Amino acid sequence: MEQPTNRQGDLQTMKVLNIEIKAQSRDVDSVRTILKSKNARFVGEDHQTDTYFNVKKGRLKLREGNIENSLIFYERNDQSDPKESMVTLYKATPDSSLKEILIGSIGVKVVVDKKREIYFIENVKFHIDLVADLGSFVEIEAISENGQTDRDTLLEQCNSYVELFGISAGDLIHCSYSDLLLDRKR
């Protein structure tokens, strides 16, 4: 899903509509078993460092991993229910000077260190995350590239997997990992 679709010089960007949930998980093995039973495509396990930068609106993070490397900007309301966001991805090159430029110009807000298993069923992306200092989580992202899937269908997909995984309302997380880490530091 992070393959660039637009080229401007050597810029590679993509915009996607994303409906997602994030939930605390006490039983990632159950989620993994369900995904395998649905023939989910396992992309791999990625050790990711997400560096969040100080911005006036939205969230800007540089994701550095073995599988995914992108500069990601998104705006999203904090809520426990499925969240809608328009995401702009810039395909980053590992070891580029991009991180140094961003640190020097706008500064680091917080860094999230996680191990992530990545799965897909059609246009729905699943993450099983182990986040340093926070614990285990499951994310469901119903994704529409170039308007291929409408918002209502994305919401329906997201909700159906919440039900399938047995995620309770009390397990849903209303914000990002970055916010959870910042709250712990306060």
Distance CA 24, CA 92 (A): 29
Pick out the chain residues at pLDDT < 50: 1-10
| Exposed e or buried b per residue across 107-119, where buried means at least 16 C-beta atoms within 10 angstroms of its C-beta | eebbebbbebbbb
Displacement of CA 20 from its chain's centroid (Å): 8
**Cβ-contact 25, 138 below 8 angstroms:** yes
**Cβ-contact 5, 16 below 8 angstroms:** no
Distance CA 166, CA 30 (A): 10
Displacement of CA 78 from its chain's centroid (Å): 14
Distance CA 139, CA 115 (A): 13
pLDDT at 8: 40
Q: pTM here?
A: 0.90
User: What is 6-185's CATH topology?
Assistant: Hypothetical Protein Pfu-838710-001 (2.40.320)
pLDDT tens sequence across 96-143:
899 999 999 999 999 999 999 999 999 999 999 999 999 999 999 999
